[in-house]
Structure 1
C-alpha cells in the first residue's frame, strides 16, 4: 500500500477543501484550461488513429511488418520451381498474377485493362495494349495493332493465384461469403474470391460464367464464393494456384501481370526461403536477381506522421498556454484573498513548503479534473464518430480510444496545473507572519 508523507497528504487534503469551498472559481479555471487539454488529447488521438488507419491500409497492399517478399524472374522453370517449393509450406505463400476476362467470348471487356468501373476511361489501367515480352531480359515491346472486337458483357480482372492463405500477411477484411479453402484436391471449376471493386462489375452487369486467361488450354467456368476488401482500386480476384494450373500447366512470362510471381515469407520461414534460393540458383538464376525485402511499414510512415503530429501539438500547446494563464490569474487572485489565512498558518508553525504545496495541490487537482473531463469527451466523440462513419471506413469499427491520448491529456493537465500554480505558490510561501496582525 502506497503511503503519502504527512506534508503531501496535508497539502492534498487542504487543497481539496479549497476546491470545494470555491466551486465557481474552480469551474472557471477548468473552462479556461479545458480547451487546451482537449486540443492535446484530440491531436494525440487523431495522430494514433491516423497511424492505425494508414498502417492498416499499407498492410493490405505490402503486408504486415516483418514480412519478407521476393520477386521471381519471369523464367518459366524458375517460377515453376518456386511455386512447387512453397506450396503447402507454413509461413510461405506464392502469388501469381494474371489478367483474366470473365464473360462473353470474343468481345472487349467493359473495363478494358482491368480499369475501375467508376473511372473507365483508359489511362493508367488501360485499355490494355498487346505486348511482346522477352522472358530472359524482361523487356516488353508493343505488338502491331489489330482490329478490335466489339464491347460486350464481360469484365477484366487481375487474377491472383495463391498457393496458401495470404491473409496471414495481408489481413483482407471479409465483406460476404467465404475465403478460399486450400484443403482438399483442386477443383476444375476455379473458386474465386473477388474484391469490392470487382463486385461492382458483377452487380451492375449480367456476366456469363466463362473465364479466359491467356495460355489456358480451355475456358474454365469460375465460381464466386466470397467478397473481400483488399484496398485495391482495380477489380481483382483471388484463386487457388493449383486450380488454375489444372488449365495452365506451366506459367509463362507472356501470361504474367505486374511483377509476375511474388513470394511472401513469415519471419520464421527462413528454411523455406533458403530452399527456394538454392533451387533457383541451381537452375541458373543469378544471385543478384533474387533480392529479398523486409516490410517495415511503421518505419515508412513514422516520419510523415511525426511532422504532422508536432505541427498540431504546437498549435495545441498555444491553446494550452491560454488555460495556464487563466489558472495563473485565478491562483493569484485566490492567494491575494487568503493572505491572512496563510499568515496565520505560518504563525502557528506551518512550513513555507506546505503553504506552497497547498496552492500547488489545488491547481494540480484542477488540472487533473480538467484532463478527466477532456478525455471523457474525447472517448465519447470517438465512439460516436466510429458509429456514424463505421460503414464508410470499416477500420473505425474496431477502433478503440488510444491510451497514448489519455496519458497525453493527464500530462497536459498536470503540466498546466504546475505552471499555472507555481507563481501563486511562491507568493503564498513568501507571505510574512506579520501580515496576521492585519486581522
Structure 2
C-alpha cells in the first residue's frame, strides 16, 4: 500500500509539473472539453429545474404528495356531514365548486360553461329546470362565468398556489357580507378584457351579491376560477344548497395522512347514503418514469457533446506523448515502471478534466444567478433558485471520465515506449 501510494503521489506531482510546463496545450485541452462538461452541468441543472416546474404545476392542481383527498359525490346531506366532521380542525380543508356569473344581470355570459376566453363556448346558454325542460337563455352580455370554489380553512397548506397580486383569503377576520374573491390568472384576464359590473349571481342564492376581488393567484387551471370563503358564501346560499345533486359539482376534502378525518367522514357519509372516494396524492411516483426518461434524454444529448471534448483531449494527449518520447524512454532506462509512466499521463489528463469541471461548474453557477436576476420576476420558478448540487457532482464525474477516456490511449502508448528509444535519441 505504501509503494502504491508513493507511485500515485509521484504521478500526481509529475503530472502537475507537466501541466505547468505546457500551459498552452493544457488550455487547448480545457477549451475542447469545457463545452462538453458545461453541457452535462447545464443539462443536469435544467432537468432539475424542469422537474421542479412539473412538480410545482401538479402540486398546485392536485396538492402536495402525501395529501389525502376525499371526493364526495353530490348529496343533500353531504355538506352538513362534512362541516360537522371537520369543524375546528386545522389539518383539513374542504372545497365546494359551483358555477357563478359575474357581471351584467339578466344576460348570458360571454364564456358559457366557464370556458377559457380563447376557446369559445363550453356550454349552452339555455335555461333548464330539474326535469330537463330547457328554453333559450337571454342574449349574451357583459358577464363572465367562473368556477367558484368555496373554501373552508387555509387551502395553501395543501395546494401551493402562487400569489400574483393582492392577497390570499384571510380566515382570521369576521365573515364579510360582500364575499371576498381571489381569482386565478385566466379569470383576471377576462376581467381585464371585459369591464363587467361587480354583481354576482349563483344558483340557489337568496339574491345577487356584490363581490370584492382582493387578489390574483396562479393555480394551474385553464378555466376562469375564483376562490371564496365558505362562511362568507353561506351568508347568501344555505349550506345545504351549496351542493346540488341535480347539477353535480366538485366537493373535495383534503387532509393530512394519519388524520382520523378520512375514516370518520367516510363512515358518516356511507351511513347517510352518500358516496365518497379516497386517494392519496402521489404525483412524483406517477411522474417518475416520465421524469427519468426526460433526464436520460437530456444526459444523452450532453454525452454526445462531451465525446467531442474527449476526442479533443485525446488528440492533444497523443501529440504530447509523441513530443515526450525521449523523456519517457529515459525514465524507463533509469528504472521507472511502465505503470508509473501511464499514471503520469493519466494524472495530467484527469487534472485537466477536474480543472475544466471546476470552470464549467463556476460558469453554471454564475449563469444561473444571472438568469435568476433577470428572469426571476417574470418566472417565479427562477426566483432565488439555487444551483443544484447534483449538477455539480455530475460535472466533476464528467470531467474525471473525460480525463480517463481522453488519457487512456496516450497512457498506454507512453507505457509501451521501449528503452531503446533513448539510444536512438
Aligned partners of 2:310 and 2:403 also within 8 Å: yes
Distance 1:315 1:147, change over 3 A: closer
**Equivalent of 2:383 in 397, 403, 422:** 397
Distance 1:346 1:120, change over 3 A: closer
Aligned partners of 1:75 and 1:252 also within 8 Å: no
- Corresponding residue for residue 136 of structure 1: none
Aligned partners of 1:158 and 1:257 also within 8 Å: no
Q: Does 1:30 align with 2:19?
A: no
**Equivalent of 1:340 in 309, 322, 326:** 326
Aligned pairs for 1:135-214 within 5 A: 143-214=132-203
Distance 1:72 1:109, change over 3 A: same
Q: Does 1:246 align with 2:243?
A: no
- Corresponding residue for residue 120 of structure 2: 121
Distance 1:324 1:318, change over 3 A: same
Question: CA offset at residue 316 of structure 1?
Answer: 2.5
Q: Secondary structure at the match of 1:110?
A: coil
Distance 1:259 1:215, change over 3 A: closer
Mean CA deviation greater in 73-82 or 390-399: 390-399
Question: CA offset at residue 166 of structure 1?
Answer: 0.8
Q: Secondary structure at the match of 1:212?
A: strand
> How far apart, CA to CA, are the structure 2 residues paired with 1:151 and 1:108?
4
Question: CA offset at residue 422 of structure 1?
Answer: 1.3
Aligned pairs for 1:277-356 within 5 A: 277-285=266-274, 289-356=275-342
- Corresponding residue for residue 109 of structure 1: 109
Note the residue ranges of structure 2 that are not aligned, 5 or more in a row. Answer: none
Aligned partners of 1:76 and 1:252 also within 8 Å: no
Give the root-mean-square deviation of aligned CA atoms. 2.4
Distance 1:268 1:163, change over 3 A: same
Deviations 1:114-157 (A, max 9, x none): 2223x1521xx334555667xxxxxxx8x343232233332211
Q: Secondary structure at the match of 2:244?
A: helix
Mean CA deviation greater in 237-246 or 304-313: 304-313
Question: CA offset at residue 392 of structure 1?
Answer: 4.1
- Corresponding residue for residue 234 of structure 1: 223
Q: Does 1:95 align with 2:95?
A: yes
Q: Does 1:437 align with 2:423?
A: yes
Deviations 1:65-119 (A, max 9, x none): 11111111111102321133224312211000011112222112233322223x1
> How far apart, CA to CA, are the structure 2 residues paired with 1:371 and 1:242?
58
> How far apart, CA to CA, are the structure 2 residues paired with 1:256 and 1:221?
26
- TM-score, L = length of structure 1: 0.88
Note the residue ranges of structure 1 that are not aligned, 5 or more in a row. Answer: 134-140
Distance 1:182 1:327, change over 3 A: same
Aligned partners of 2:96 and 2:242 also within 8 Å: no
> How far apart, CA to CA, are the structure 2 residues paired with 1:275 and 1:128?
41
Runs of 4+ in 1 over 6 A off after TM superposition: 255-258
Aligned pairs for 1:16-55 within 5 A: 16-55=16-55
> How far apart, CA to CA, are the structure 2 residues paired with 1:360 and 1:256?
77
Aligned partners of 1:33 and 1:327 also within 8 Å: yes
Aligned partners of 2:75 and 2:244 also within 8 Å: no
Distance 1:116 1:367, change over 3 A: same
Question: CA offset at residue 240 of structure 1?
Answer: 0.9
Q: Does 1:407 align with 2:393?
A: yes
- TM-score, L = length of structure 2: 0.91
Question: CA offset at residue 317 of structure 1?
Answer: 2.0
